[in-house]
């Protein structure tokens, strides 16, 4: 079977080998043929190999023969690259296979020399041409195949023992390391260093592979120190991509280079070999120590020095090399951010291996390598981060030899990096800052993982406190925070973000429509002045957080220190301090400020110390809002001075980077504090709000008692002018309600309105009037509605007291009146507050026949002195109408009331005012004085306020005030401002509507004459108004939102109510009927037409004839005597018909 | 006012529990609860931590005259001639299961009540007995106006509601009335009431030698200190056994309020006039000493409706009809400052109590409030006014440093 197969394979090879021998002498004409044959042979070999057929040695010899013939018969310069390539490829394939195991060393050496010659270019020396990269690549591959150690799997495949492979490798190694061979080796080494800089990627890759093999296995111990510098410098170049090809290094290449470096470093300067040669000493036990103490410098081990090319490892050599090596490794820092995970992983392995292998020889490189590992352990790629963490854990676990040294280094690194950040930040060295931040973060993360793992596995328990303690020490009382804190704060200059993305609804809209169910928004982020990239800023944030997380309660000292600084002022330094404190606390507590969806609330048990700090913090932060107003008022000059300073600085049009400008003399010393004293009140507010939210996040449901203090600042900031503060406040509110498990911010406010009210009321005192407090109150009244109103009376009273005192200040007055208006609106919205004012008059004269009317008069005449109150409440009280005859029962009812005290049963008596009514009454009576306020908007607002109060108040409460203020109200009708007039008309309308009988006389006597002249004026004014309706007979304006439209409407409604209310003099009615005709025109606004129809219907109830006459005469010629009334251009026919039809129906 | 003195504070909080004039305020011994009561009979208990009502109920049909927490009970005294004793209300344990649910108002229940005479607006005076003297039905004495005669006082026991002493002050009527109070006192004789002036205010206490004493302020502006001299009988009727130690009249108008230091050494009275009377209660015998022991201090304000003394006996607060609260030193009656908020008369004042810091720290919720906050709270003054406002004032300690 085997025989048969051997034969078959042999036949296959024979087909190509025979003609190959035939054309072994290469002529230009035969090149193509030879190449063809060689390729066929290669193909056949690959096929055979794929079929797992093992070439016998005879077959190998058979194949080898034609190839060797070609090489022998032609001078190497004559052999074209293509042929050489193919020949060597075939060698490689065979070597990969069985040949490596059994070819004799001479053949092996020949092949080695051949490939080596091609790689080094010796073979073509002096002939002015070099082999192509492809050829060299093939040669390098052949070398690799020659030198490579075989894996266990391969051993199995070739049914060889692993020992066989070892033996064979040792054999080859022995041969290579032989004194004669070393120069060859050096040559190969040199040329492969050259080829690995090639831009031909396969060549580069294979060269690195070759180098790795050489360095790892074949270079003698003595030689490795000699080749170390060269290899390292080349490899650094390769890894960093500083090759002549200028291409950035591929991940695989970087990995290869790092592996080579790792190999040579460990070989050349590793602990083991150096200890062995006496360059360093390993002190492991007492004996070692005594040896060290006795200082017995034993002679360095001989033996190794006999090699001619060897370098001796001595102490001075070590020092020199180590520092050079450090520089080289240092230059690879940028590799930590290599985008390719393969490269990063290689760096992990490299760092870990070097750390593990050179703890004695390269102590100064340790932090560097650790920093690589740490930075990589935070990589986004899990495939990088995980190995990095694992190797760190491995290195730091007690089982590792180097962990003592590493721990110390680690803490020192944390310290150093922390100290470095203040230097790097102003230099705009983003990358370095980010690196430092990441290193610190990684160290802290390591502590956390270690402690976690120790909890879960119980390993390293004895060990873990040391690092946490270390970090804790850094942030604790003995950490010297005063030393590193100030520099850090002085360079952390926070800025508000350039753009604040506000929700489309916005806070101002919130004031309009009262919805507080905001969508949960994230806290708007800040930016650092000295940091351009967001990622660096985030790295700094994460750094602070992880510091907090790692040191747990220890860092509360630092947090307190930061808070202390932060609360000391409102400068950028305080902002930075609060920022640091916030991040530390976030770390300690595990609470992260974000949108509620993102919050990952860890239900970890918060320590007492933390809770205590949080509580104190919430209070002291809230106190800031108490001081703020005074402070802002107190120092108006300060900001301008700073502004000047800033402008001075800005005059220099240059981008200063890195170096701080030094000016000699006094000015220089002035410069710095000025920079540190830029006030950032809004940023300070925002960060304080964040901290407040954070405390709520920490305390969760236990923070509810703190709402006394914390809620007001948040609400106050929601109505602030700065959109950044507003947005932060909105986010805070959402966060707070989430963390204290309220369903929505609205619920939060509703449940705690008493606290807010309390806070507001404190800000309405004479000594302290906060204009924004009025806005908060408006917000609150809108939200909480009647509950607030019931308890707000003394706040309202304070409002008025302040109004009295500050009536000259428009902004205060506006704010306060807004509150009052809001209160009245809320009261109005309540159902039970409505008082039914019944219109009294229904044309008595017509209803009762003459005799009865007279009787009624007499009856009234006799009883008119009965009781004032009775008279007052007569007819328009909330009582149902009753016949006149029952009038005398009223006193009885009164006595009954006295007896029973049951006031509700007595319809004639005024019910005691509800708190809301009392409040409204209070508002009305006190706001009347503002009817003559100098500012027109205030006048209009007061009128509107009264207008909304009319439907709410019982007459006994309202009428005296109105009576008192009547002249003022009336005078508003001749106010120079249109909107005041319109507001006054609205008030009169409301009065007429709700208390007609009281008003009608005043209306006919006082108001109507004014209205009439106003109507005339407006008619004239409309002609010139741009908004006026166009077209024939048009009346009023197009829009229903103009003042003139409102005015018309109010007038019509007022007069309707007046007509209904009282029997007027005929002359006046006639006048009215004549004046309002034009509103029936179909050219008028629909609403006005409707009002006008109502008016005419109302007039028609009393005086149908007049209406008929006027309307008919306007539309058509009724009679010559009334022809003057004809106004056809108004086109009022349609409405006239409606009105007349309506009148006929009744 | 000198520049170096800090300006008077604004109230730190307002309690919005009342819609009628507030007549009474009181702070519990541990400073945890503020009691306030108004003219409509509504009593509200407010937690000093959350400043929210713990309970609010209509205790009386008419205005409250007095309220006091006594161990596990609350004593309320109203103008409806009732004295009720209620079960006290405690702060609920914070948020079970960390839920944010707000605890609702608690209900209190009536333990027992007494019919009393409240015609003269005179508040009761409670004197808890020391532990050694307590029995099952007698753990405190309470002084009330006599059921029939408003110018006399009765002393009852609680909780058994037994009248121990009846008509205190009556026995002196039978003696020869002096023509004039001042003359009487100069003769070394106790001043005797020539008219039936009603009692406006009183204070029942036990002196250092466990003798029962009562200090009474009268409508005519006089104040008298009486003691129960009989050792043999525990009870008395018709005021027998009670003898006046001294009587003096410093005020021109009726005594509106009376306050005694916790150690019962000094009493102060406020009146409708501009005088504040200061009485040294340690004076045993009337005589020349009395003139120095009872001093009328003239103030610059007229019309004082209430007075209270702080626990340390150093500072007193006087509420005026003008709504101002004036602080004075108890020793010298030197004005310390004025607090302005109330629009109507300030009718009720109460100082928080100085709690000793070495008291047993509460476990569990003890960290809800820091020592510092506790210290601040112990300097609170609570005021209630006719304008139905209750305000909390954080005061400075007034101690010299």
Q: What are the average pLDDT values for consecutive 10-residue runs of chain A, which has 1146 residues?
A: 76 79 77 82 81 76 80 76 80 74 75 79 66 80 79 71 76 76 81 80 83 82 82 84 63 84 84 78 69 56 55 81 87 80 86 84 83 82 83 77 76 81 80 82 77 50 56 74 80 76 50 52 76 82 84 81 85 86 84 62 66 84 72 42 42 52 46 55 86 85 81 84 81 84 80 82 74 78 72 74 75 78 75 49 45 66 61 45 48 46 48 71 79 82 84 77 84 83 84 76 81 82 69 67 80 81 75 82 82 85 80 75 74 80 75
* Mutation target among B11, B16, B94, B386 for the A interface, most CBs of A within 10 A: B16
Q: In Å, how far is A334's CA from the nearest CA of chain B?
A: 49
d(CA B270, CA B254): 9
Inter-chain touch A742–B51, beta carbons under 8 Å: no
Q: In Å, how far is A846's CA from the nearest CA of chain B?
A: 49
The DSSP code sequence of A585-616 is HHHHH----S-TTT-----PPPPHHHHHHHHH
DSSP single-letter state for residue B343:
S
Which residue of B13, B100, B388 is in closest CB contact with A740?
B100
Number of domains in chain B: 1
Which secondary-structure segment (H or E) carries A273? helix A271-277
The token pair at A263 is 């190999």
Which secondary-structure segment (H or E) carries B243? strand B242-249
Per-residue confidence (pLDDT) for residue B287, from 0 to 100? 62
Per-residue confidence (pLDDT) for residue B365, from 0 to 100? 46
Residues 6+ apart with CB under 8 A from B184: B178, B190, B191, B192, B247
Per-residue confidence (pLDDT) for residue B67, from 0 to 100? 93
d(CA B310, CA B31): 13
Which residue of A616, A704, A762 is in closest CB contact with B10?
A762
Specify whether the CB–CB gap between A980 and A951 falls below 8 A.
no
Query: Would B151 be classed as within a structural domain?
Result: yes
Specify whether the CB–CB gap between B46 and B67 falls below 8 A.
no
Q: What b/e string do you get for A155-192 counting C-beta neighbours within 10 Å, with b at 16 or more?
A: beebebeeeebeebbeebbebbbeeebbebbbebbebb
Counting DSSP H helices and E strands in chain B, the numbers are 3, 28
Query: Terminal CA-to-CA distance of chain A, rounded, Å?
Result: 127
Q: What b/e string do you get for B315-327 counting C-beta neighbours within 10 Å, with b at 16 or more?
A: bbbbbbbbbbbbb
Query: Would B199 be classed as within a structural domain?
Result: yes
Inter-chain touch A612–B50, beta carbons under 8 Å: no
Cα–Cα nearest to B70, from B155, B159, B161, B166: B159
Specify whether the CB–CB gap between A975 and A820 falls below 8 A.
no
The token pair at A796 is 């309202």
Q: How many CA atoms lie within 13 A of B311 on its CB side?
A: 16
Contacts of the segment B172-177: beta carbons below 8 A, 24+ positions apart: B172/B239, B172/B243, B172/B244
* Mutation target among A627, A630, A696, A704 for the B interface, most CBs of B within 10 A: A704
Chain A residues whose beta carbon lies within 8 Å of the beta carbon of residue B367:
608, 611-612
Query: Would B166 be classed as within a structural domain?
Result: yes
pLDDT-based confidence at B270, cuts 50/70/90?
very high
Three-state DSSP at A9 gives helix
d(CA A253, CA B3): 79
d(CA A28, CA A590): 78
Q: In Å, how far is B208's CA from the nearest CA of chain A?
A: 42
Chain A residues whose beta carbon lies within 8 Å of the beta carbon of residue B98:
700-702
Inter-chain touch A701–B99, beta carbons under 8 Å: yes
pLDDT at B307 over 90: yes
Chain A residues whose beta carbon lies within 8 Å of the beta carbon of residue B14:
758, 761-762, 794
d(CA B230, CA B134): 20
The token pair at B138 is 């007698």
Per-residue confidence (pLDDT) for residue A667, from 0 to 100? 41
For residue B135, the enclosing domain spans 117-255+282-294
Per-residue confidence (pLDDT) for residue B247, from 0 to 100? 86
Chain A residues whose beta carbon lies within 8 Å of the beta carbon of residue B364:
none
Crossing angle of helices A915-927 and A810-829, in 10° steps, is: 150
Write phi, then psi, for B222 (nearest 5 degrees).
Answer: -90, 160
d(CA A130, CA A120): 10
Specify whether the CB–CB gap between A521 and A599 falls below 8 A.
no
Q: Does B334 touch chain A (CB under 8 A)?
A: no
d(CA A925, CA A923): 6
* Mutation target among A794, A798, A804 for the B interface, most CBs of B within 10 A: A794
pLDDT at B350 over 60: yes
Q: In Å, how far is A927's CA from the nearest CA of chain B?
A: 19
Per-residue confidence (pLDDT) for residue B35, from 0 to 100? 93
Chain A residues whose beta carbon lies within 8 Å of the beta carbon of residue B16:
754, 757-758, 791, 794
Specify whether the CB–CB gap between A1080 and A1140 falls below 8 A.
no
| Other CB atoms within 10 A of residue B75 CB | 23
d(CA A517, CA A609): 34
Three-state DSSP at A531 gives coil
Classify residue B70 as exposed, middle or buried by CB count within 10 Å of its CB (0-12, 13-18, 19+): middle
Residues 353-392, chain B: which have Cβ within 8 Å of A?
367-368, 370, 387-389
Cα–Cα nearest to A784, from A751, A760, A818: A751
Query: Would B123 be classed as within a structural domain?
Result: yes
Per-residue confidence (pLDDT) for residue A301, from 0 to 100? 46
Inter-chain touch A765–B341, beta carbons under 8 Å: yes
Query: Would B109 be classed as within a structural domain?
Result: no
Residues 6+ apart with CB under 8 A from A148: A100, A213
The token pair at B356 is 């000793």
The token pair at A369 is 């390598």
Q: Does A703 touch chain B (CB under 8 A)?
A: no
Three-state DSSP at B265 gives coil
d(CA A696, CA B294): 55
Residues 6+ apart with CB under 8 A from A853: A844, A845
Query: Is the interface score ipTM higher than 0.90?
Result: no
d(CA A3, CA A25): 33
Query: Would B203 be classed as within a structural domain?
Result: yes
Instruction: Return the bridge partners of B93, or none.
Output: none
Q: What is the CA radius of gyration of chain A?
A: 49
Per-residue confidence (pLDDT) for residue A869, from 0 to 100? 46
Q: Does B76 touch chain A (CB under 8 A)?
A: no
Query: Would B98 be classed as within a structural domain?
Result: no
Which residue of A615, A701, A754 is in closest CB contact with B370?
A615
Specify whether the CB–CB gap between A926 and A964 falls below 8 A.
no
Q: Does B288 touch chain A (CB under 8 A)?
A: no
pTM of the shown model:
0.69
Query: Would B26 be classed as within a structural domain?
Result: no
Per-residue confidence (pLDDT) for residue B99, from 0 to 100? 45
Q: Does A767 touch chain B (CB under 8 A)?
A: yes
Q: In Å, how far is B172's CA from the nearest CA of chain A?
A: 44
d(CA A387, CA A364): 24
d(CA A180, CA A186): 11
Cα–Cα nearest to A152, from A162, A139, A166, A144: A162
d(CA A581, CA A123): 71
Chain centroid offset of residue B74 CA = 14
Q: Does A612 touch chain B (CB under 8 A)?
A: yes
Residues 6+ apart with CB under 8 A from B199: B120, B122, B145, B150, B151, B152, B153, B216, B217, B218, B219
Q: How many CA atoms lie within 13 A of A1144 on its CB side?
A: 7
């Amino acid at each position: 079977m085997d025989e048969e197969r051997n034969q078959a394979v042999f036949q296959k090879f024979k087909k190509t080998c025979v003609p190959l021998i035939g054309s072994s002498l290469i002529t230009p004409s035969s090149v193509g043929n030879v190449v063809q044959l060689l390729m066929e042979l290669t193909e056949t070999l690959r096929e055979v190999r794929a079929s797992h057929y093992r070439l016998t040695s005879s077959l190998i010899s058979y194949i080898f023969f034609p190839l060797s013939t070609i090489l022998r018969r032609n001078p190497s310069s004559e052999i074209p690259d293509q042929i050489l390539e193919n020949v060597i490829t075939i060698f490689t394939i065979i070597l990969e296979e069985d040949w490596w195991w059994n070819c004799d060393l001479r053949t092996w050496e020949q092949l080695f020399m051949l490939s080596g010659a091609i790689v080094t270019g010796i073979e073509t020396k002096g002939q002015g041409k070099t082999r192509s990269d492809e050829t060299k690549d093939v040669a390098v591959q052949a070398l690799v195949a020659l030198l490579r150690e075989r894996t266990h799997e391969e051993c199995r495949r070739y049914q060889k023992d692993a020992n066989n492979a070892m033996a064979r490798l040792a054999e080859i190694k022995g041969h290579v390391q032989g004194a004669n061979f070393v120069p060859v080796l050096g040559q190969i080494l040199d040329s492969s260093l050259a080829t690995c800089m090639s831009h031909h990627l396969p060549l580069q890759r294979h060269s690195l592979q070759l180098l790795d093999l050489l360095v790892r296995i074949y270079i003698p111990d003595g030689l490795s120190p000699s080749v170390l510098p060269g290899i390292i410098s080349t490899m650094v170049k390769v890894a960093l991509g500083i090759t002549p090809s200028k291409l950035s290094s591929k991940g695989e290449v970087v990995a290869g280079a790092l592996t080579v470096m790792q190999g040579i470093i460990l070989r050349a300067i590793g602990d083991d070999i150096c200890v062995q040669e006496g360059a360093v000493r390993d002190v492991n036990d007492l004996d070692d120590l005594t040896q060290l103490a006795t200082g017995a410098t034993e002679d360095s081990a001989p033996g190794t020095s006999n090699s001619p090319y060897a370098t001796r490892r001595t102490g001075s050599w070590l020092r020199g090399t180590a520092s050079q090596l450090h520089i080289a490794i240092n230059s690879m820092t940028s590799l930590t951010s290599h985008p390719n995970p393969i490269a990063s992983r290689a760096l992990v392995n490299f760092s870990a291996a070097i750390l593990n292998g050179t703890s004695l020889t390269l102590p100064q490189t340790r932090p560097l390598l650790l920093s690589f590992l740490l930075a990589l352990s935070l990589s986004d790629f899990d495939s990088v981060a995980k190995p990095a963490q694992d190797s760190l854990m491995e290195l730091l676990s007690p089982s590792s030899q180097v962990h003592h040294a590493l721990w110390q280094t680690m803490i020192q690194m944390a310290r150093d990096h922390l100290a470095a950040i203040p230097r790097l930040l102003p230099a705009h060295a983003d990358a370095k800052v980010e690196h430092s931040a990441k290193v610190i973060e990684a160290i802290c993360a390591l502590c956390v993982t270690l402690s976690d793992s120790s909890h879960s596995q119980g390993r390293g328990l004895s060990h873990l406190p040391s690092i946490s303690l270390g970090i804790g020490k850094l942030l604790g009382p003995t950490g010297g925070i005063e030393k590193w804190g100030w520099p850090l704060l002085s360079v952390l200059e926070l800025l508000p973000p350039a753009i604040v993305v506000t929700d489309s609804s916005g806070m101002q809209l919130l004031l309009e429509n009262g919805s507080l169910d905001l969508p949960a928004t994230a806290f708007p982020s800040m930016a650092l002045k000295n940091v351009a990239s967001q990622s660096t800023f985030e790295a700094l944030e994460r750094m602070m957080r992880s510091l907090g997380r790692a040191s747990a309660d220890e860092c509360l000292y630092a947090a307190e220190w930061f808070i202390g600084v932060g609360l000391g002022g409102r400068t950028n330094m305080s902002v930075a301090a609060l920022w640091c404190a916030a991040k530390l606390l976030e770390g300690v507590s595990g609470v992260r400020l974000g949108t509620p969806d993102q919050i990952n609330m860890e239900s970890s048990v918060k320590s007492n110390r933390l809770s205590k700090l949080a509580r104190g913090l919430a209070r002291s932060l809230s106190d800031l809002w108490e001081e703020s107003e005074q402070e802002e008022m107190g120092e108006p000059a300060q900001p301008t001075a700073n502004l000047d300073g800033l402008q001075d600085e800005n005059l220099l049009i240059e981008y200063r980077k890195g170096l701080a400008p030094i000016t000699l003399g006094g000015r220089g010393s002035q410069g710095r504090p000025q920079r540190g004293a830029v006030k950032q009140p809004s940023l300070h507010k925002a960060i304080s709000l964040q901290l407040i939210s954070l405390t709520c996040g920490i305390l969760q449901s236990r923070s509810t008692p703190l709402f006394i203090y914390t809620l007001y600042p948040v609400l106050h900031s929601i109505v602030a002018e700065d959109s950044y503060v507003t947005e932060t406040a909105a986010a805070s509110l959402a966060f707070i309600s989430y963390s204290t498990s309220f369903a929505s911010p609205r619920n939060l406010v509703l449940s705690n309105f008493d606290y807010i009210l309390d806070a507001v009321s404190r800000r309405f005192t004479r000594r302290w009037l906060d204009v924004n407090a009025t806005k908060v109150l408006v917000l609150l009244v809108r939200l909480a509605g009647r509950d607030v109103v019931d308890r707000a009376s003394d706040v309202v009273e304070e409002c008025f007291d302040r109004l009295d005192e500050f009536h000259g200040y428009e902004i205060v007055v506006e704010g306060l009146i807004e509150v009052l208006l809001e209160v009245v609106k809320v009261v109005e919205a309540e159902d039970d507050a409505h008082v039914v004012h019944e219109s009294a008059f229904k044309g008595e004269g017509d209803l009762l026949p003459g005799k009865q009317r007279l009787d009624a008069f007499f009856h009234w005449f006799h009883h008119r002195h009965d009781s004032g109150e009775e008279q007052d409440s007569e007819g328009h009280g909330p009582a149902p109408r009753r016949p006149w005859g029952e009038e005398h029962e009223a006193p009885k009812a009164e006595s009954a009331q006295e007896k029973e005290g049951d006031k509700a049963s007595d319809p004639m008596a005024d019910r005691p005012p509800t708190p809301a009514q009392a409040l409204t009454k209070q508002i009305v009576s006190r706001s009347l004085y503002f009817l003559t306020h100098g500012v027109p908007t205030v006048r209009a607002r007061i009128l509107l306020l009264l207008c909304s109060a009319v439907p709410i108040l019982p007459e006994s409460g309202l009428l005296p005030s109105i009576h008192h203020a009547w002249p003022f109200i009336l005078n508003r009708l001749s106010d120079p401002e249109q909107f005041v007039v319109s507001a006054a008309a609205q008030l009169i309308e409301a009065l007429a509507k709700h208390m007609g009988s009281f008003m009608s006389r005043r209306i006919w006597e006082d108001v109507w004459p004014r209205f009439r002249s106003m109507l005339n004026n407006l008619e004239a004014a409309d002609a010139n108004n741009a908004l006026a309706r166009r077209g024939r007979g048009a009346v009023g304006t197009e829009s229903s939102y103009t003042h003139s439209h409102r005015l018309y409407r109010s007038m019509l409604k007022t007069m309707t109510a007046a007509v209904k209310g009282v029997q007027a003099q005929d002359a006046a009615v006639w006048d009215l009927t004549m004046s309002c005709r034009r509103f029936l025109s179909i050219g008028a606004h629909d609403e006005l037409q409707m009002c006008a129809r109502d008016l005419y219907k109302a007039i028609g109830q009393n005086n149908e004839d007049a209406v008929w006459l006027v309307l008919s005469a306007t539309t058509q010629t009724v009679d010559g005597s009334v022809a003057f009334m004809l106004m056809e251009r108004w086109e009022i026919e349609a409405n006239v018909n409606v009105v007349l039809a309506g009148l006929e129906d009744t | 006012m000198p520049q170096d003195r800090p300006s008077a504070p604004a109230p730190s909080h307002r309690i919005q529990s009342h819609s009628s004039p507030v007549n009474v305020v009181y702070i519990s011994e541990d400073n945890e609860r503020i009691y306030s009561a108004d003219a409509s009979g509504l009593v509200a208990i407010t937690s000093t931590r959350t400043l929210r009502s713990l309970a609010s109920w209509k205790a009386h049909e008419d205005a409250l005259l007095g309220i006091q927490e006594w161990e596990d009970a609350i004593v309320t005294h109203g103008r409806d001639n009732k004295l009720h004793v209620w079960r006290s209300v405690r702060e609920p344990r914070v948020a079970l299961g960390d839920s944010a649910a707000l605890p609702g108002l608690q209900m209190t229940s009536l333990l027992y009540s007494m019919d009393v005479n409240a015609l003269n607006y005179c508040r009761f005076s409670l004197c808890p007995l020391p532990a050694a003297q307590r029995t099952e039905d007698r753990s405190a004495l309470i002084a009330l106006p006599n059921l029939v005669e408003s110018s006399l006082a009765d002393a009852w026991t609680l909780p058994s509601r037994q009248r121990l002493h009846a008509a205190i002050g009556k026995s002196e009527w039978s003696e020869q009335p002096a023509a004039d109070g001042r003359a009487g006192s100069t003769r070394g004789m106790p001043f005797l009431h020539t008219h039936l002036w009603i009692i406006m205010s009183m204070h029942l206490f036990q002196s250092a030698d466990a003798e029962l004493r009562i200090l009474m302020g009268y409508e005519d502006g006089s104040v008298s200190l009486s003691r129960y001299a009989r050792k043999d009988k525990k009870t008395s009727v018709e005021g027998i056994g009670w003898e006046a130690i001294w009587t003096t009249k410093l005020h021109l108008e009726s005594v509106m309020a009376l306050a005694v230091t916790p150690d019962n050494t000094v009493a102060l009275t406020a009146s409708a006039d501009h005088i504040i009377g200061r009485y040294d209660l340690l004076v045993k015998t009337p005589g020349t000493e009395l003139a120095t022991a009872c001093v009328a201090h003239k103030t610059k304000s007229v019309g004082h409706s209430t007075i209270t003394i702080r626990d340390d006996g150093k500072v007193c607060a006087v509420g005026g009809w003008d709504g101002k609260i004036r602080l004075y030193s108890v020793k010298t009656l030197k004005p310390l400052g004025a607090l302005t908020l109330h629009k109507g008369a300030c009718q009720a004042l109460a100082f928080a109590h100085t709690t000793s810091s070495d008291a047993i720290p509460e476990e569990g919720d003890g960290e809800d409030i820091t020592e510092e906050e506790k210290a601040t709270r112990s300097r609170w003054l609570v005021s209630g006014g006719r304008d139905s406002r209750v305000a909390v004032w954080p005061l400075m300690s007034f101690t010299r440093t």
